[in-house]
Amino acid sequence: MMRRTLANAVVALVVVAAAACSSRSEEPVSPEASEPTATLELAEAELVPGGIVVDFKDGTTEEQFDAWESEWAVDLEFNSVESADDGLTVAVGVDDVESALERIRQHPAVEFAEPLLAYRASFTPNDPEYGKQWNLKMIDMPKAWDSSKGKGVVVAVLDTGIAYEDYDEFKQVPDLKSVKFVKGYDFVNDDEHANDDHGHGTHVAGTIAQATNNGEGVAGVAFEATLMPVKVLNHFGSGTSADIADAIRFAADKGAKVINMSLGGGGFSKTMASAVEYARGKGVTVVAAAGNAGRARVEYPAAYPGAVAVSAVGPEGTRAPYSSYGKELDVAAPGGDKRQGDEGGILQNTIDPRNPARSVYASYQGTSMATPHVAAVAALLYAAGAKGPDEVEKALYEGAKRVNGQAWTDEYGHGLLNAQASLEALGVGGGVQWPSLWWAVVLLALVLLTLGRRERPGFLNILLTPTFALPLLLATVGVFFARSFFGGADGAAGDVVNAVSLPIPDWQRIIFGRGKLANPLFYSALIPTVLSFFAIKFRGLRPAIGGLALGFAGFLGYAAWSKAPGLAYMPFTFLAMPWLVVNTAICVFVARAMLKKEKA
């Protein structure tokens, strides 16, 4: 029965739904708006280790194929209640898949037999022009969006400004209307209105966080991030080292976690180098364009120590001819190559530089266009729990797709940017959710503060007791290192590894299958509440159940804050949020009851 459950978990199939720019197109695109919906796109299939699918002729009975199993050395079962009619069966734990399939295919009752494939649901925006954004598919964004969308991370765009507000002759471009902004600054004109009078900065900002799944225009990489508009380049696209250095320090001091600089071309400046060092010292990831000179020399500021230098590739995944490169290069990203037309460029909503109030959808190319892809993925990593520039860069570089199998080249750095692989390198793909642990710690402090001094247990006794800490960790981050040590295990052992490497609420993925909707019974206070009843008789269980309840509270609280995931079986999708909030509160109540010291 356990094998049958695991087979169902992996067989679930998804529903298929349909520096400066070297050139640009300013003809507006007029997409027809549609109702915002999230569809599913068929993702790349993966083989299920030891799994096969066998389709028998209609009418074949279980008794019949049971008699053939010993000859084939497999254990087949009907895949579902429909299979008794259509003859579809599955087997898992097959030692030699190819040999088994060869034997099975020779039987006259078999219509076909093949390896078992696994698919996963991927978020696909409904933005009408998303289909033209080859760049987002190149860096594996449909999968990455399932794990992070950059929520709450501030990205400073040091550029020509952003069309983010209606002010004087300036107008916000339509596809940035629902994007969050924090106050920036215009270092060119020395005022607080960092509006774009060129178009470059708005285009860059769109790649980072264009409003997405809004039924309009195009999509952005980290569309739940917050943008900080910082104008350092004038109408002609030029600026000074003093303004840029001041802007770097401004962004770092005002809360930016990522700074994007799609600019370059000047020589070494101690002033700017010091500013980059300052920002990195404050925990900010600085990303800059390698340059558009097409030569073997990375331009400043990308070449400064502490900056992530980005080169550009075209739709074919090879270095664009204009892209500079060299020993300081860190990573490559889609920057466009329009030799074959606008389709090869990076499409975003921006302004007509001749009329800042006029919105256009324009196709640009340049390392300027590659850089915001990397900055946005850095935002995804911070939102997923990365602690600083070192951890972000490690994940970026480990997740980059190697070019010609080489760990590093002067044209591509560590390889071609891959958002999903970088999140997995951080641990998100494996289920690690560090923010859940921090939520649990904060809620623990709340519990201790609401208990009277005589009711409060010893502080160190709680934190240092394994019976309390271990359940808390299992509920928030799981045994996150299990896959690193035992990730190659197959069959039942592999299933155990997959389970314990996830936080306990996410064990529902193993039981019910991994999909876009989570099982609400696991994403609830049910487990700690039921276990708390055992503590009535067995009081020694109270610290462990208290830790488990706090872990669930942290996990559910973070899930509510990040607005993910959706919950199955809800009659209305908006009910997911109150469900998570209420169950977080119940878990805190249970934890408080378990940790409360009894009166003597």
Dig out the tokens for 543 from the structure.
Answer: 């610290």
Residue-range domains of the chain with CATH: 2-18+34-118 (3.30.70.1140), 149-376 (3.40.50.200), 434-595 (no CATH)
Q: pLDDT confidence of 13, banded at 50, 70, 90?
A: very low
Catalytic-residue membership of 200: yes
Task: Exactly one of 368, 524, 532, 562 is catalytic; name it.
Answer: 368
Cis amide bond preceding 334, omega within 30? no
Q: pLDDT confidence of 503, banded at 50, 70, 90?
A: confident
pLDDT for 192 equals 97
Q: What is the β-pairing status of strands 355-364 and 46-56?
A: unpaired
pLDDT for 459 equals 56
The pTM for the full model equals: 0.61
* Distant-in-sequence, close-in-space partners of 35: CB < 8 Å, separation ≥ 6: 126, 215
* Distant-in-sequence, close-in-space partners of 5: CB < 8 Å, separation ≥ 6: 511
Dig out the tokens for 598 from the structure.
Answer: 């009894």
Task: Say which amino acid occupies 288.
Answer: A
Dig out the tokens for 592 from the structure.
Answer: 């408080």
Catalytic-residue membership of 147: no
Mean pLDDT of 208-234: 97
Helix (H, G, I), strand (E, B) or coil at 78: strand
* Inter-residue contact 545 to 590 (CB < 8 Å): yes
- What percentage of residues in the chain have a pLDDT greater than 90? 61
What's the CA gap between 247 and 232, in Å, rounded? 7
pLDDT, greater one: 14 or 276? 276
pLDDT for 15 equals 22
Is the predicted pLDDT of residue 265 greater than 90, yes or no? no
Q: pLDDT confidence of 9, banded at 50, 70, 90?
A: very low
* Inter-residue contact 62 to 87 (CB < 8 Å): no
What's the CA gap between 144 and 425, in Å, rounded? 12
Give 214's Cβ-side CA count (13 Å radius).
17
CA 442 to chain centre: 24
**Residues making up the chain, counted from first to last:** 600
Is the predicted pLDDT of residue 451 greater than 70, yes or no? yes
Phi and psi at residue 364, to the nearest 5°: -110, 165
pLDDT for 43 equals 38
Task: Exactly one of 127, 196, 200, 359 is catalytic; name it.
Answer: 200
Catalytic-residue membership of 490: no
Bridge partners of residue 115, in order along the sequence: 52
What 8-state DSSP symbol labels residue 332? E
What's the CA gap between 378 and 279, in Å, rounded? 15
pLDDT, greater one: 435 or 196? 196
Mean pLDDT of 201-220: 97
pLDDT for 107 equals 95
Bridge partners of residue 313, in order along the sequence: 319, 334
Q: What is the dihedral of CA 332, 370, 248, 23, to 10 degrees?
A: 140
pLDDT for 506 equals 78
pLDDT for 559 equals 81
CA distances to 33, 97, 136, 146 from 128, rounded to whole Å, are 7, 43, 14, 20
pLDDT for 24 equals 37
What's the distance, Cα to Cα, between the start and end of the chain in Å?
49
pLDDT for 1 equals 35
Is the predicted pLDDT of residue 292 greater than 60, yes or no? yes
Q: Which residues of 306-327 are buried (b: 16+ CB within 10 A; e: fewer)?
A: bbbbbbbbbbeeebbebbbbbe
Task: Exactly one of 127, 140, 146, 159 is catalytic; name it.
Answer: 159
pLDDT, greater one: 75 or 497? 75
How confident is the prediction for the chain on average, in pLDDT? 84
Mean pLDDT of 226-231: 98
What's the CA gap between 375 and 221, in Å, rounded? 9
Is the predicted pLDDT of residue 8 greater than 60, yes or no? no
Q: Which of 146, 179, 138, 143 lies closest to 162 in space, CA to CA?
A: 179
